[in-house]
């Protein structure tokens, strides 16, 4: 029996795509994980292929012991989210994954046109760390033991995450 996403989607989740889409793809990811960097590009292709049939959700699963910038990157994305630019920051972090640093997060914020004083203040917001911890806890409860991990319509996907395999898994998961 496949593991179930716990808790299910809620108002704290960042959703990209149509909220009414029948296909729900959740990724537990780490911004510094090289495998997540590869998955990022594959997800973009899948989003293009499925268009408004897919809603994509990203939950933070920073593996901080292996990736020192995973948690700071997650906090930067969540801080950008307070200015309604979570997905823009999510994307720019993955697109510059090999250049992550404290300075880089501020450069990204400037590129995105964020209010730097608000961004700086939000980086210190404990509620963002609590949200990331809740995402991580959700992953543990859902059976996540590495990144990237995917859930299709609430159930853990155990296959490969190359484009063809993941797309097939998505199509099988909704039939």
Report how far residue 34's alpha carbon sits from residue 46's, in angstroms, rounded to the nearest whole number: 19
- 155 — phi, psi (to 5°)? -120, 140
Assign residue 127 a region (left: φ > 0; alpha: ψ between -120 and 50; beta: otherwise). Answer: alpha
Domain CATH for 42: 3.40.30.10
Provide CB contacts within 8 A for 46, sequence distance 6+: 25, 54, 163, 166, 167, 170
| DSSP code of residue 25 | E
Domain assignment present for 12: no
Tell me the per-residue pLDDT of 52-90, one tens digit each, with 9 for 90 and over. Answer: 999 999 999 999 999 999 999 999 999 999 999 999 999
- Render pLDDT for 10-20 as a digit per residue (tens, 0 to 9): 999 999 999 89
What average pLDDT score do residues 137-149 get?
A: 97
Give the bridge partners for 58, in sequence order: 14, 27
In a domain, 10, yes or no: no
Domain count, the chain: 1
Tokens of 50: 């499925």
* Inside any domain, residue 13: no
Residue 95 lies in a domain: yes
Residue with structure tokens 């049939």? 53
User: What confidence category does residue 48 fall into, taking pLDDT thresholds of 50, 70 and 90?
Assistant: very high
**Which two tokens mark 91?**
């994307």
Strand, coil or helix: 143 = coil
Phi first, then psi, for residue 17 (nearest 5°) are 105, -175
Q: Where in the sequence is the domain holding 34, given as residue range(s)?
A: 23-173
């Amino acid at each position: 029996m496949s593991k179930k996403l716990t808790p299910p989607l809620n108002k704290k989740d960042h959703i990209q795509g149509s909220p009414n889409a029948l296909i729900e793809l959740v990724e537990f990811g780490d911004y510094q994980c090289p495998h997540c960097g590869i998955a990022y590009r594959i997800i973009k292709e899948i989003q293009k292929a499925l268009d408004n049939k897919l809603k994509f959700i990203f939950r933070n699963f920073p593996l901080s012991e292996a990736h020192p910038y995973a948690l700071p990157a997650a906090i930067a994305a969540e801080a950008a989210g307070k200015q309604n630019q979570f997905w823009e920051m999510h994307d720019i972090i993955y697109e510059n994954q090999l250049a992550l640093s404290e300075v880089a997060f501020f450069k990204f914020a400037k590129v995105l046109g964020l209010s730097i004083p608000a961004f700086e203040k939000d980086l210190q917001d404990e509620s963002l760390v609590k949200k990331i911890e809740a995402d991580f806890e959700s992953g543990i409860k859902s059976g996540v033991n590495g990144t990237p991990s995917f859930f299709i319509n609430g159930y853990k996907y155990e296959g490969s995450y190359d484009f063809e395999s993941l797309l097939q898994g998505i199509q099988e998961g909704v039939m």
